[in-house]
Chain A
Amino acid sequence: MNTFLSTLPAVPINSYIALSAVLFCIGALGVMIRRNIIIMLMCIELMLNSVNLLLTAFSSFKNDADGQVFVFFVMAVAAAEVAVGLGIIVMIYRNTFSIDIDRLSELKN
């Protein structure tokens, strides 16, 4: 464990940025491509977690705790958001018996 922690800073910060960016893009593409609302929610979670990773990395490189505190806020808010999101999904399922996003496209033009 100790060796792991000591080797962490040895990985250059740009690698962290690249990893988070890739994770973020995967999440974004997932939201875009998938039709199942629950999976879309999970993809959004992936985007938020990539941000958390990035924040923690910066925090550790700058020796500044603010970034990690921010991560807690992000997690709390994300939990609240997902709770609301699941609520909305349940509401929709009751009306349409489906969680396919494309079923909901009555409002347009």
Chain B
Amino acid sequence: MNNLIVLIPLLPLLGFIINGIGNKKLSNGVISTIASGAIFGSFVISVVLFFTLRHSFEQAPIVVHLFNWIDFGNFHVPMAFQLDALSSLMLLIITGVGFLIHIFSTGYMSHETDFARYFAYLNLFCFSMLMLVLANNFLVMFIGWEGVGLCSYLLIGFWFTNKEYTAAARKAFVMNRIGDLAFIGALFMMYQNFGSLEYEQVFKVARTFSVDSHTMTIITVLLFIGATGKSAQIPLYTWLPDAMAGPTPVSALIHAATMVTAGIFMIVRSHVLFNLAPWTMDLIAVVGVLTAIVAAAIAITQNDIKKVLAYSTVSQLGFMFLALGLGAYSAAMFHVMTHAFFKALLFLGSGSVIHACSGNQDIRTMGGLKKHMPITHATFLVGCLAIAGIPFFSGFFSKDEILAFAFDQQPILWIVAAITAGLTAFYMFRLYFLTFRGTFRGTHEQEYHLHESPVSMTVPLIILAILASLAGFLGLPHVMGHNILEHFLSVNGNVLNLSSGAEVALMVVSVSIATIGIFIAYYLYVKRSMVPEADATPKAMTYRWSQNKFYVDELYDYLILKPIHFISKIMYSGIELLGIDALVNGSGNMVTGTGNTIKYLQYGKTSYYLFAMIIFIVVILFSLFI
């Protein structure tokens, strides 16, 4: 039974291999069946395992040992999988949402020529992500970590003939590598200090360290830097908005629901270490909340439907990191889950819209889509309500839990987070109103083409909408009932010490903030039918700053890229050409020259060979007695 775990990552891997090899020979129907079937199989197994084993998680995680991957001297790394509450939750999210997105893709990508490549990458991504969450040691997790990075790169640059898209893919890859470097550093430090990379062993030894010791702080900060790369936090967040160059279902799966939450998963997984490093925790909380508000501030002026969602994702990830920094691990995971549902829903909805508008992504030329696409409209509205935190939709519960933790521990963080929540409600409904309400602002030809998406796209939307509205009840606040998820995860973090009255008051405040945000959006974009002006028109400075993403890309360019370019030019002309090239070519020539000389030792005559052998025998025998 337990060995079924192996099948969970194996099925997508098989799907990848079959679709990768059968690239040109298989028909689209076969390809999508294989790809979706593989991930559906994983989903079914995950569900079965979850329901049969969930009670045994409390005692000990279930470990399935496949083989000794590296086994040398003191360095043992098994290829082993670990199933516990945390990984089973992630499994369900990845395979469930992943399956829906595979289905959606069959409709969305149906006009694509490179159908097989797309699905092969998608399956490879699922495989890597499953490895990441199932790992029972940091090195196997690292395989998955790198694997998802690679797939993200491949899928962002899926349309690789477009220069801009490949640049975006490269940017994502490089940014991720910066984080990965820190992660590797953390692995080295862990092996040096704990003598192992297996979770159990690492945590056991780590518990013997004192709180706030330098080792712990360095390791956790390195891990956190790794997480900022993957999960798009300040300062490494700029790749995520650019990553929208990939196909929209990819944005939904990788850049909203799963991969970007890997950093959060990793920190929750190693929470034992983070609990011992309060300084790092404070850092995480501050970085998280800053990311949340900066990204939200950028999102309010963006006009590209996917860019808005991308910044919203960065902002929501900031919320999750805020939760992590406050020690509210289960709240963070709760938000990961609800966010996976509503953000995947929003992205798929945007995909549906883009599909209908023949690739147009600018919300200034949309509007009035409500009557053309009723299902997309309804589900998108659910997503917006969920992310805005309107009561009883999933986002309300998860965001509220984080806000409550913030208020409990550090009211300043709470104020910033609450403002962010208001901004979130505003920009999401700005997006909604501009897209679906009012009248269509595009050309007549575009309007003629508007249509509701096929069933393969609307069904996933409906399912996700249901999940996005109901998932919140898994994590009810204390005043309303029992928090199932927190109990299930039982991660050893901080607990909430708020009175019931305070909790209710906080809810009222956050709901009213969200309502205000929505109302402003309504007032501006429906009542006054405002449409954002063209890029060229002069605007207020703050607006300009926000629209240009606070010039962070330019800042990085100026501060980091330009100096590096300058140094590398000097390096190239000075050291590379004169020094290294000469050295390399010289040694190469030397070796070849030597080879050309000593090849004549192989003279060709047997007697000569025998002569040489006898000489050497004599020499060796003599050397023995000297």
Contact = CB atoms under 8 A, between A and B. Distances in A.
B29 interface: no
Interface stretch (A56-64, A68-76, A81-89, A101-109): A101-109
Contact of A105 (B606, B610, B614): B606
Interface in A21-75: 28-29, 31-33, 35
B611 A32 contact: yes
B606 A104 contact: yes
Contacts of B599: 109
Report which residue of B600, B602, B607, B614 has the largest number of chain A beta carbons within 10 angstroms of its beta carbon: B607
Contacts of A35: 607
A32 B602 contact: no
Contact of B610 (A32, A102, A109): A32
A26 to B, nearest CB: 12
B603 interface: yes
Interface string B597-626: 001101111110011001000000000000
B597 to A, nearest CB: 11
Report which residue of A28, A102, A109 has the largest number of chain B beta carbons within 10 angstroms of its beta carbon: A109
Contact of A109 (B600, B605, B607, B611): B600
Given A32-B610, A32-B614, A102 B605 contact: yes
Report which residue of A29, A35, A106, A108 has the largest number of chain B beta carbons within 10 angstroms of its beta carbon: A108
A33 B603 CA distance: 16
B265 to A, nearest CB: 60
Interface string B105-130: 00000000000000000000000000
Interface of A: 28-29, 31-33, 35, 101-102, 104-109
30 contacts: A28-B614, A29-B614, A31-B610, A32-B607, A32-B610, A32-B611, A32-B614, A33-B607, A35-B607, A101-B605, A101-B606, A101-B607, A102-B605, A102-B606, A102-B607, A104-B606, A105-B603, A105-B604, A105-B605, A105-B606, A106-B604, A107-B604, A108-B602, A108-B603, A108-B604, A108-B605, A109-B599, A109-B600, A109-B602, A109-B604
Given A102-B607, A107-B604, A109-B604, 17 more contacts: A28-B614, A31-B610, A32-B610, A32-B611, A32-B614, A35-B607, A101-B605, A101-B606, A102-B605, A104-B606, A105-B603, A105-B605, A106-B604, A108-B602, A108-B603, A108-B604, A109-B600
Interface of B: 599-600, 602-607, 610-611, 614
